[in-house]
Amino acid sequence: MSLFCTYNSVSQEKELFDLIITDENATPELLPERMIFTQRIFWGEKGILRRTGIAPLSLENREKELVIRRKMLKAHQIIGYTTLAAMVAQGIIGGQLYNGDYSLYKTHKNMAKVVNAGYFTGAALSLFSPPPLVNKKTKGFSSIKAHRFLSNIHFSAMVVTNMVADSNKKAHKAAAYTAFASYATAVIVFKF
């Protein structure tokens, strides 16, 4: 089944490229007009990977980049679910800590490292993946728009959670709850 899905995805990409190239003498648009800033910095026409020659902009390389993109976003998804589970465990430990069980302080700190590693690795996989072939602006509500909106909230909340971890318990708790709620909602909204 996995081999079929991989073959099917690759053949769909080939079909998409074939649709774009209608005139054999025309130069196909290899990059979308709209890219997030991190994609533009690394993968844009004048991006770091293009200027250094690591990933020259060509049809063949874009096909490879789309395979890399799929793998990075799949890893983003898997790490996202794992991080959500770690956040739940961290919340349970943190709740016990706030209720006076200070023997869990070191466990809470260690679990924070696990959550942070998962969270920021997952974020990096999304932010630094190659751009899609087409990135059209759609009107109305969509799960991806909600996911992206919520990502701005949980990313900011994760940063604040870490910044005030040792200096302000109330702010730390509020930021952690905000990070968890917006992160869990982002995962749920994208799944459905």
How would you write 79-101 as a 3-class SS string?
HHHHHHHHHHHHHHHHHHHHCCC
- What per-residue confidence (pLDDT) applies to 27? 54
Contact present, 36 and 155 (Cβ < 8 Å): no
Number of domains composing the chain: 1
Whether residue 177 lies inside any domain: the answer is yes
Whole-angstrom distance, CA of residue 152 vs CA of residue 135:
19
Structural domain includes residue 55: yes
Q: Measured between alpha carbons, how far is 173 from 95 in angstroms, rounded to an integer?
A: 9
Would residue 157 count as lying in a domain? yes
More confident residue, 10 or 33: 33
Q: Is the pLDDT of residue 13 over 80?
A: no
In a domain, 154, yes or no: yes
Q: Are 126 and 76 in contact (CB under 8 A)?
A: yes
Residue 108, token pair as written in the block = 């809470």
Is residue 14 one of the residues assigned to a domain? no
- Smallest Cα–Cα separation from 122: which of 81, 158, 79? 79
Residue 111: domain span: 37-191
The pLDDT assigned to 138 comes to: 77
Task: Specify if 31 maps to a domain.
Answer: no
H or E segment to which residue 20 belongs: helix 2-20
| Domain membership flag for residue 22 | no
Instruction: Please indicate, yes or no, if residue 54 is contained in any of the structural domains.
Output: yes
pLDDT of residue 137: 77
Per-residue model confidence (pLDDT) at position 126: 95
Q: Is the pLDDT of residue 39 over 60?
A: yes
Section 112-133 average pLDDT: 96
How far apart are the C-alpha atoms of 65 and 51, rounded to whole Å?
A: 16
